[in-house]
Amino acid sequence: MKFTIYQESRPGKRANNEDRLAHCYSRDALLMVVADGMGGHYYGEVAAQIAVQVLIESFQREATPGISDPFLFLQKSMNNAHRAIIDFTDAHNLKDSPRTTCVACIVQHNIAYWAHAGDSRLYLMRDGKVLTHTRDHSRVQLLKDQGVINAAQAAVHPERNKVYSCLGGRLTPEIEFSRKTPLEAGDVLALCTDGLWGVLPGEMMAVALKSDNLMQAVPMLLGRADIRGGPNADNLSILVVRWEDSYIEEGATATSTVSTQTMSRDTITTRLDEFGRNPNFKTELSEEEIERAIEEIRSTIQKYSK
């Protein structure tokens, strides 16, 4: 595999950053995950952290070096994450379960497989245009589908942040799967939370991400979204991969390019920020509370890490 990948998250104007994102790759497979937590105190952050950790740790166990059934992997891992969040709720006697959206994608043998619950999105872009994106599991999307409101009305609808499917909560999540989608060299996959796509049209993102240097394009895109979000800008998170078919020439600027050709079968590379340790994931928790949360998350997902 050969790809260029970059991820970044910003708090926007919110006190806490409840978004989480991570990626992980073996010699033959790449996993990307984005989650947007919902819940009081720091529990939305915990739900999102549990979701990405369950998927990443599942990948670390099962990518040998490929995933035998990517769709089954996504279904099983997302349902395990859902159950782990409920276990956390029960263990802490919470009145209301924290919840999180989740969108995850596996790329293997030049084919993309993705799944989502909620309104965090995946975009597939080619030549600066959006080929497709996930359909939001939201009240507003249902109204759009029924022809009750149009896109402009949906953008300012008072219930635009309400989702009917997520991980956590007492309802079984509705997990929607893509088709097996072959990728061409130069294709871009972008996974992002609603803080980004809610203020920047997909077409604008596709043009910006056509740039050869994702390490420059992504921060510029987030900066633009932060300004557009105004004084109430939500958390902003995006994970972008450009699929490649040849090595970048020496001296090129896209320094986030990865080639797995020389990786051994049993090697896994992971980018997953520990809870409370990344300044981009802004939190008002004390050091003691962060340490306790890390231990609680680890304890919660331990039985799903076998």
Instruction: State both tokens at 220.
Output: 């510029």
- At 147, which CATH number? 3.60.40.10
Instruction: State both tokens at 203.
Output: 């077409």
> How would you classify the pairing of strands 129-133 and 257-259?
unpaired
What is the SS3 assignment for 92?
coil
Count of all residues that appear for the chain in the document: 306
> In this structure, which amino acid lies at residue 302?
Q
Between CA 153 and CA 120 the distance in angstroms is 19
Provide the residue range defining the domain that includes 253: 2-304
Cα atoms found within 13 Å of the Cα of residue 130, Cβ hemisphere only: 17
pTM: 0.91
> How would you classify the pairing of strands 99-108 and 29-38?
antiparallel
Residue spans of beta strands (DSSP E) within 98-235: 99-108, 111-117, 121-126, 129-133, 167-168, 176-177, 181-182, 188-192
> In this structure, which amino acid lies at residue 4?
T
Determine the pLDDT at residue 256: 63
Nearest residue to 140 via CA among 130, 152, 123: 152
When divided into structural domains, the chain yields a total of: 1
Check the CA dihedral 25-31-32-38 and report its sign. Answer: negative
Per-residue pLDDT tens, the chain, 306 aa: give them.
Answer: 999 999 999 999 998 999 999 999 999 999 999 999 998 778 999 999 999 999 999 999 999 999 999 999 999 999 999 999 999 999 999 988 899 999 999 999 999 999 999 999 999 999 999 999 999 998 888 888 788 888 777 777 777 778 999 999 889 999 999 999 999 999 999 999 999 999 999 999 999 999 889 999 999 999 999 999 999 999 999 999 999 953 334 444 445 678 897 888 889 999 998 888 777 777 778 888 889 989 999 999 988 876
CB 28 within 8 A of CB 260: yes
State the burial class of residue 156 (Cβ atoms within 10 Å of its Cβ: 0-12, 13-18, 19+). exposed
